[in-house]
């Protein structure tokens, strides 16, 4: 497994460009299942989860082309026929958002078989709301042997109220509803920009969707969808991670190709912490100026503060003067980074869903373990202000959602390098050759 070696103490200076949003790209790739014509997606981030989705779609019979060179952020997905509308446990266990194919498959093929995801490092991640919603649209659902099988002649429009706000649940049902007969009204929907981006693509494909980005989405079902070309929105979580990196290291960082309108909650928290930022329509400049002020934080659904930025904000809180209280309201177990930050010298106590951080602590370098994607990001941030050289193990978690993070950070002055596990590379190569 690859490791990162990071030497702390360098301010980040210069310009860093944000990639396309992983969490918008994943549902948009799944949306290509809804049509027999090619869907072209631009600004696709080159991260592991995109590769996994590519494998998932290819296993169903889709042709998935990833561009090269200057076109490396473009993918063309052509699902002319889908002989095998299934998502296996092998793929779903490594990426829970694979369940996003359930709605589109049953809508297009009348049949889908998808592995149940099970728990993961950040919580239990059930999909009961996806299943309940598809049943309301008339799908017959059977759960056995760890798989969910959905079938329907044609889905029927319905009024669905989500018991709880769910991002991929909203996306899954939105995709299913585009090909249902009649009108579907989805209530208590997730308002994340990634949901609105998916709806944009679906409308370009011929769907009739109104209200995406608000709690109520109306969909008039159509008989068929066509191919389309779409550019994925910038990754607001990657942008937020760079904002904290610039602030923490006392740097002066210009974060380009982002959408500051999606960063409101993050920018206002940074302001409370005493961090100076300046936005243009597609960039934010952050000027780090220690000391930071302690401030409390509650994670919420969009437009609240994102759970995907909680771990990174905690790294900042370790460097603020005073006590910060962080409450994680979305996932029950998203504090796996705490023990590693404590090993680096942070003063953090966790009780249930609340973490109390007392700062400012001088962080010291250590060998630490990444447990999930955003936890890894918080450890990278902490290591960049720790004294000495830290070693981060299991950075494959980071590779799931951050594109060439070490190159981007090195480009603005961070001392970070990747130590490759050549033995793992050889095993991977042998596995590829064996196929």
Q: Which stretch binds ligand EPU (CB under 6 A): 51-59, 104-112, 122-130, 150-158?
A: 122-130
Among 108, 191, 337, 374, binds ligand EPU (CB under 6 A): 374
Q: Tell me if 307 contacts ligand EPU by CB under 6 A.
A: yes
- Under the binding rule (CB under 6 A), the answer on residue 67 touching ligand EPU is no
Give the contacts of 69 (CB within 8 A, at least 6 positions apart): none
Q: Rounded to whole angstroms, how far apart are CA atoms 357 and 310?
A: 13
> What is the enclosing helix (H) or strand (E) of 74?
none
Strand 13-17 and strand 252-256: the pairing is parallel
Pair of tokens at residue 221:
């079902």
Residue 168 interacts with ligand EPU (CB under 6 A)? Answer: yes
129 near ligand EPU (CB under 6 A): yes
In this structure, which long-range contacts are made by residues 116-123, counting pairs with CB atoms below 8 Å and at least 24 apart in sequence? Answer: 116/92, 116/143, 116/146, 116/147, 116/148, 117/92, 117/93, 118/93, 120/96, 120/372, 121/333, 121/336, 121/371, 121/372, 121/375, 122/331, 122/333, 122/334, 122/336, 122/372, 123/331, 123/332, 123/333, 123/334
Q: How far apart are CA 380 and CA 8, in angstroms?
A: 10
Closest separation between CB of residue 269 and ligand EPU, Å? 16
149 scored as a contact of ligand EPU (CB under 6 A) = no
Q: Which of 330, 341, 381, 414 binds ligand EPU (CB under 6 A)?
A: 330
Beta carbon nearer to ligand EPU, 170 or 178: 170
Q: Do 139 and 150 contact (CB within 8 A), yes or no?
A: yes
What's the gap between Cα 10 and its chain centre?
28
**Binding of ligand EPU by 373 (CB under 6 A):** yes
Write each residue from 6 to 25 as x if it is in contact with ligand EPU (CB under 6 A), else as -, in one continuous string.
-----------------x--
CB contact at 8 A, 378 and 317: no
Nearest distance, CB of residue 21 and ligand EPU, angstroms: 9
Report the alpha-carbon distance of residue 48 to residue 394 in Å, rounded.
Answer: 14
Q: Which stretch binds ligand EPU (CB under 6 A): 5-13, 199-207, 303-311, 314-322?
A: 303-311
Shortest spacing between CB 150 and ligand EPU, in angstroms:
14
Q: Does 236 bind ligand EPU (CB under 6 A)?
A: no
Q: Cα separation of 84 and 91, whole Å?
A: 14
- Smallest separation, CB 34 to ligand EPU (Å): 18
Contacts of 328 (CB under 8 A, 6+ apart): 299, 307, 310, 334, 335, 353, 354, 355
Binding mask 176-195 for ligand EPU (x = CB under 6 A): --------------x-----
Collapsing DSSP states into helix, strand and coil, what is residue 332? coil
Q: Does 127 bind ligand EPU (CB under 6 A)?
A: yes
Taking the least distance from each CB to ligand EPU, the nearer of 143 and 280 is 143
Nearest to ligand EPU of 167, 266 (CB atom)? 167
Instruction: Give the active site residue among 79, 120, 258, 370.
Output: 120
Distances (CA, A) of 342 to 10, 348, 398: 22, 7, 20
Binding of ligand EPU by 308 (CB under 6 A): yes
Residue 125 found at the interface with ligand EPU (CB under 6 A): yes
User: Per the structure block, which two tokens stand in for 85?
Assistant: 């509308």
The distance of closest approach from Cβ of residue 430 to ligand EPU in the complex, given in angstroms and rounded to an integer, is: 30
Helices (H) and strands (E) in the chain, counts: 15, 25
Q: Is residue 92 a contact residue for ligand EPU (CB under 6 A)?
A: no
> Which residue from 38, 123, 322, 413 is in contact with ligand EPU, where contact means CB under 6 A?
123
Scanning 62-70, 159-167, 345-353, 412-420 for contacts with ligand EPU by CB under 6 A, the matching segment is: 159-167
Q: Of 300, 321, 371, 308, which is closest to residue 341 (Cα–Cα)?
A: 371
Q: Are 44 and 75 in contact (CB under 8 A)?
A: yes
Tell me which stretch binds ligand EPU (CB under 6 A): 11-19, 161-169, 263-271, 351-359.
Answer: 161-169
Position 93 contacts ligand EPU (CB under 6 A): no
234 binds ligand EPU (CB under 6 A): no
52 lies in the binding site for ligand EPU (CB under 6 A): no
| Residue 120 falls in the annotated catalytic set | yes
User: With binding defined as CB under 6 A, does residue 167 bind ligand EPU?
Assistant: yes
Query: Which residues is 141 bridged to in the sheet?
Result: 150
Closest residue by Cα to residue 37 from 132, 114, 130, 108 = 108
The catalytic site residues sit at: 120
Binding residues (CB under 6 A) for ligand EPU: these are 23, 26, 97, 123-130, 164, 166-169, 190, 306-308, 330-331, 373-374, 401
């Amino acid at each position: 497994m690859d490791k990162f070696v990071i030497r702390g103490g360098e301010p980040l200076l210069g310009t860093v460009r944000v990639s396309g949003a992983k969490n918008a790209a994943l549902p948009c790739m799944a949306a290509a299942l809804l049509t027999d014509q090619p869907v072209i997606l631009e600004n696709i981030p080159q991260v592991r989860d995109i590769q996994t989705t590519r494998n998932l779609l290819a296993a169903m019979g889709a042709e998935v082309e990833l561009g090269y060179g200057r076109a490396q952020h473009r993918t063309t997905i052509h699902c002319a026929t889908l002989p095998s509308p299934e998502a296996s446990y092998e793929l779903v266990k490594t990426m829970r958002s694979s369940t996003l194919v359930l709605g589109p498959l049953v809508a297009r093929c009348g049949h889908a078989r998808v592995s149940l995801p099970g728990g993961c490092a950040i919580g239990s991640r059930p999909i009961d709301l996806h299943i309940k919603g598809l049943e309301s649209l008339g799908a017959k659902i059977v759960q056995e042997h760890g798989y969910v099988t959905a079938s329907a002649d044609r889905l029927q429009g319905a009024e669905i109220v989500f018991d709880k706000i769910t991002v991929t649940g909203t996306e899954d049902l939105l995709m299913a509803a585009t090909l249902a007969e009649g009108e579907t009204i989805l209530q208590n929907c997730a308002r994340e920009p990634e949901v609105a981006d998916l709806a944009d693509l679906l409308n370009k494909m011929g769907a009739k969707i109104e209200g995406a980005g608000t709690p109520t989405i109306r969909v008039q079902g159509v008989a068929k969808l066509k191919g389309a070309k779409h550019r994925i929105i910038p990754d607001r979580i990657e942008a937020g991670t760079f904002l904290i990196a610039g602030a923490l290291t006392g740097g002066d960082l210009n974060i380009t190709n982002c959408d500051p309108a999606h960063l409101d909650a993050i920018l206002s928290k940074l302001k409370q912490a005493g961090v100076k930022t300046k936005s243009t329509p597609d960039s934010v400049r952050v000027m780090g100026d220690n000391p930071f002020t302690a401030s409390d934080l509650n994670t919420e659904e969009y437009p609240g503060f994102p759970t995907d930025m909680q771990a990174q904000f905690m790294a900042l809180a370790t460097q603020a003067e005073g006590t910060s209280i962080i409450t994680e309201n979305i996932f029950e177990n998203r504090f796996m980074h705490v023990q590693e930050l404590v090993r680096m010298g942070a003063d953090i106590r966790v009780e249930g869903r609340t973490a109390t951080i007392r700062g400012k602590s001088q962080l010291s370098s250590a060998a630490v373990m990444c447990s999930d994607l955003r936890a890894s990001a918080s450890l990278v941030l902490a290591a960049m202000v720790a004294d000495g050289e830290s070693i981060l193990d299991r950075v494959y978690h980071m590779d799931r959602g951050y594109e060439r993070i070490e190159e981007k950070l090195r480009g603005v002055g961070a001392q970070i390098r990747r130590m490759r596990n050549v033995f793992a590379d050889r095993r991977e190569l042998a596995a590829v050759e064996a196929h």
